[in-house]
Structure 1
Amino acid sequence: MKRARVLRDGRAESAELIAPGLLRTPDGIEHQEAGLQFLLPVEPTKVIALALNYSDHAAELELQEPEEPALFFKSPNTWVSHRAPVIYPEGGKFVHYEVELAVAIGRRGRHVKPEQALDYVGGYTIANDLVIRDFVTNLFRPPLRAKCWDTFCPIGPYLVQDEVQDPHNLTLKAFVNDELRQEGSTRDLMRKIPEIIEYVSHFMTLEPGDLILTGTPKGISHVQPGDRMRLEVEGLGILENHIVTEQEAFG
């Protein structure tokens, strides 16, 4: 089942995907996807992300693989939905997309055992963990200045539940202006989802709707204002956002 949250008549409403491009709201009315404004597919209290969770990505950045999960937050000002604009920081030089499998927590958990961890998953969605590498230096660790610019975490469009049989066997792709730039598989996650949930819940209570971004494979490259990013994770749909300048966003 693929579910989205959409804005309809000024209020948030759930919608189920019933056919390609066609969603149905709880009142039984069918809507063309193109005519709906998407919201985040969940309402998180926090979004936790992993750095360097694919060895090939660590290698392309010439960075050492971390000895334990390297965590950081994507703050609420970064969260935007499917088709929302992404704002390019004025004066920035090196802005990169990062396609990621995002794990949505389904029930409250603390000290979750790895063999029970997937029971705490409420579904999966796609995230774009944007970063401005101008500020990824030893002076900025954790990399909040690089990772937490406004609109730097598109999420969506759907929360997918029962259809994901194996979250550790999904293909990820990122296109920029229809050019394939990044491709990988969750088979190559260095730390699998149960281990991540166990690690995080050891010191932090996970709440329903919270998201864990599991990392990105190699294949990052620069994007610029005017570019359109299309991210795909097998079985989860397509997350699409375009990049605008600060002047276009704020006038």
Structure 2
Amino acid sequence: MSNAVSYYLYIPESLCGLIFEISKPILFKMPFYCYGLDLSKTLHLHIDQQLQTSKLIAQARVERKNEYLCGRILAQAVLKHHLDLDQPLTSMREHLPIWPTHVLGSISHSQNKLIVALSNNAIYLGVDIEHWVTSEFAQESAHLVLTPSEFDLWKTKACEFFDFARYVSLIFSVKESLYKAVYPTAKQYIDFLEASIVDINFENQTLTLTFLPEIQQRYQLLEQYQGGWTIEKDHIMTWVFQARNSS
């Protein structure tokens, strides 16, 4: 294919190295590679002016272009550093990254924070980062995020560990991770109320999710998905992941 090179965004190795240097590994106690980046440390680099950006984001704000490009650059850098794959990921024509065969990846950002996760040994993988929602947002939006069983879980158990706003943040975020994890299979947006937590361990910060039976059947999804979370002062990060070789 003569246009194969121009199909992808070219990112210089030096820029990948620079972004990788200012990123930090995130340890989820899970065997996948995850890195975080403070986007405020990248604005002075004017990355959007250094790269030929796709028409898909040409009209976006500078900050939006920066978070998009930093996510792709960091993903490419992690791919090279850990899996020794020197491969472009960013199509000039498609919104989603094009991961190499046998690699699954996920990118998420919230305000000035960005995370990237990759694995070459995953059945499914999705990550999400969210700043804590306000009490007002939690009260107004809970019915769009929480299933009846998740409201019950809050009343019977979760209220000992989280205030309501943080609980809504957790459920919102882990469902975002779940949808990213199943998107390669479902190729469709699934509603927050069509998935539910069926088991949770607050000490280990792990949980199990399932979809409604009709959704599971429609998109040929698994019966259960494993997830978890880690907490920072102003945000929460969640993952949904299962290794290929795990039982």
TM-score relative to the length of structure 2: 0.27
Determine which structure has more spread, i.e. the larger CA radius of gyration: 2
Name the structure where helix makes up a greater proportion of residues. Answer: 2
Structure number with higher relative contact order (C-alpha < 8 Å, ≥ 6 residues apart): 1
Name the structure where strand makes up a greater proportion of residues. Answer: 1
